[in-house]
Amino acid sequence: MSAVLSATIFLQRESFIYVLYIIAFALFIQGLRGLAGPTSAVRGNRTAAVGMAIAVVATLLNREEGNWGLIALGIAIGIAVGVPAARQVKMTAMPQMVALFNGVGGGAVALISWVEFRNYGNSYAQGKLVVNPHSLHVFPGPGGIVGRAGLLPAVALHSIGPPTYVAIFSVFAAIVGSISFWGSNIAFGKLQEILPGRPITLGAAQQAVNLVLLVLALAAGVDLVAGAHSQLLFIGMLVCAALLGNAVVLPIGGADMPVVISMLNAFTGLSAAATGVALNNPALIVAGMIVGASGSILTNLMAVAMNRSIPAIVAGGFGGTGAVEGASGAGEHAGTVRSTTAADAAIQLAYANRVVIVPGYGMAVAQAQHAVRELTKELEARGVEVSYAIHPVAGRMPGHMNVLLAEADVPYDQLKEMDDANPEFPRTDVALVIGANDVTNPAAKNTPSSPIYGMPILEVSDSASVIVIKRSMNPGFAGIENELYYEPKTTMLFGDAKTAVSEIAAELSQL
């Protein structure tokens, strides 16, 4: 036997492939640990990416994987589209990017399930079929499940259909993957402003329509698992799930989009894990469950942060409408707005004992984080105690502010989560709000008709005075006016966040 042949046999041994998978899992988990903090996040991401590369190589080593031309073409297209897109995307457009990548994952899962169904001769029924030897399913053997199709004697391939649980997982993956693909596309369209951010709804009929679509998709799935021989039924199931994905996300307003993206992310993870069970691919099961579990935890955290209930999200009935269009802006409020200058703001800050910086989306747009860090250093050099109050949905993606401030080397212990920051405002001299709007809006507490009513906010008006840096009186993401700007203790410093913060720092250095 030649050395090359021996090496090939060794590399394709099931036990070797499983060892590679275990190494990949260890790297996934290590990577996830790294993602727990901004300082280790980049390393964590790279670690998990190496794990995924190993898992892909291990899967390709399997001797059933034969269509190398198609695989190479797929990888080439993926690299050509994905790498430039990921490199060029602006930080503020990251949520759309996540929605798009997430949708692609869900779509891939749905397509794989469809291909598998076709491989089984258009039925999942046990014992009724001639099985395609290229199919990747597991098969029941004398000692239980004995392995992948390619490892079994050929005779087994032609006499036994897939176990019922494989059919159930495949159908689950097809439905959830399809919902995730279409829902993510709608989320992308809303965030990219291709679609209106306001809720698009069928009114009172919405929930009934959602329910009918869900029941139809499930009924088709049950029929397929029971052995229905119909390509059309499978396509019908995918179409119902696709309509459901659209019907769930369209009625959700822009302000609630973060919860939706995270929920769809969890859906994609769970559908990928289900495909992993159906394909007997442990890497897919583990990676899918990690995404499903972390996505579910994140969804829950975000829902709590925005005071939304997850069942209401799934039913397409958010408490708030998240209106964006037709929002009230400058001039509609009866109160008076006091504007200030960089020089006055510098004096106010210089004589404060305690300053809390509240960053928001505007800081990200202006890329003001480095200027903010410089301002902090100036203040600290004068003995002012400075911290940052971070709202969980400030910016446009989870952890947006943490990532930006970590990039500017802001010490992590200066960042205070909302629950720790709020009790500190009453003993704060100046709250410096930099490009944050909705996350400071008292309407969330005081105005039941407001789309953000019930969302916990950073209670900046508890501090002795508030300086807000933004360019105009225009509203933020939720499209609503902010009462904070009319409070007597608030002054507005109008301008681009980076320029304004740099000007304050320059004034401070001359005091």
CA distances for 316 relative to 3, 182, 201, 202, 447, angstroms: 60, 15, 9, 10, 23
Closest CB to ligand NAP: residue number: 476
Q: Answer yes or no whether residue 370 interacts with ligand NAP by CB under 6 A.
A: no
| 253 is an interface residue for ligand NAP by CB under 6 A | no
- CA dist 10 and 17 (Å) reads 10
Which residue from 400, 399, 376 is spatially nearest to 387, judged by alpha carbons?
Answer: 376
Choose, from 256, 419, 429, 438, the residue flagged as catalytic. Answer: 438
Task: Work out the number of other CB atoms within 10 angstroms of the CB of residue 87.
Answer: 7
- Using CB under 6 A as the binding rule, whether residue 468 contacts ligand NAP is answered as no
Q: Which of residues 51-90 bind ligand NAP (CB under 6 A)?
A: none
User: 276 vs 451, which CB is nearer to ligand NAP?
Assistant: 451
Stretch of 82-90, 193-201, 349-357, 397-405 lying at the interface with ligand NAP (CB under 6 A): 397-405
Query: Minimum CB separation from ligand NAP for residue 157, in Å?
Result: 48
Sheet of 465-470, strands arranged across: 415-417, 385-390, 354-359, 430-434, 465-470, 490-494
Q: Does 497 bind ligand NAP (CB under 6 A)?
A: yes
Closest to ligand NAP by CB, 162 or 183: 183
Residue type, 151: L
Using rule CB under 6 A, residue 400 touches ligand NAP: yes
The set of long-range contacts for 59-62, using a CB threshold of 8 Å and a minimum separation of 24, is 59/17, 59/281, 59/283, 61/11, 61/12, 61/16, 61/17, 61/20, 62/12, 62/17, 62/148, 62/150
Sign of CA dihedral 454, 456, 461, 466: negative
User: Could you say whether residue 177 binds ligand NAP (CB under 6 A)?
Assistant: no
Q: Left (φ > 0), alpha (ψ -120 to 50) or beta: where does 281 sit?
A: beta
Output the CA–CA distances (angstroms, integers) from residue 354 to 142, 208, 339, 507, in the order listed.
73, 53, 22, 19
Select the residue interacting with ligand NAP from 258, 269, 292, 295 (CB under 6 A). 258
According to the binding rule CB under 6 A, does residue 439 interact with ligand NAP?
yes
CB atoms within 10 A of CB 369: 24
Which CB sits closer to ligand NAP, 27 or 305?
305
470 scored as a contact of ligand NAP (CB under 6 A) = yes
Minimum distance of ligand NAP from residue 38's CB (angstroms): 15
- Residue 496 a catalytic site member: no
Contact status: 199 vs ligand NAP (CB under 6 A):
no
Q: Which of 198, 395, 484, 490 binds ligand NAP (CB under 6 A)?
A: 395
For position 474 contacting ligand NAP by CB under 6 A, the verdict is yes
Among 393, 410, 432, 484, binds ligand NAP (CB under 6 A): 393
Catalytic residue annotation: 438
Query: Which residues make up the interface to ligand NAP (CB under 6 A)?
Result: 95, 255, 257-258, 360-362, 365-366, 393-398, 400, 435-439, 469-472, 474, 476-478, 496-497
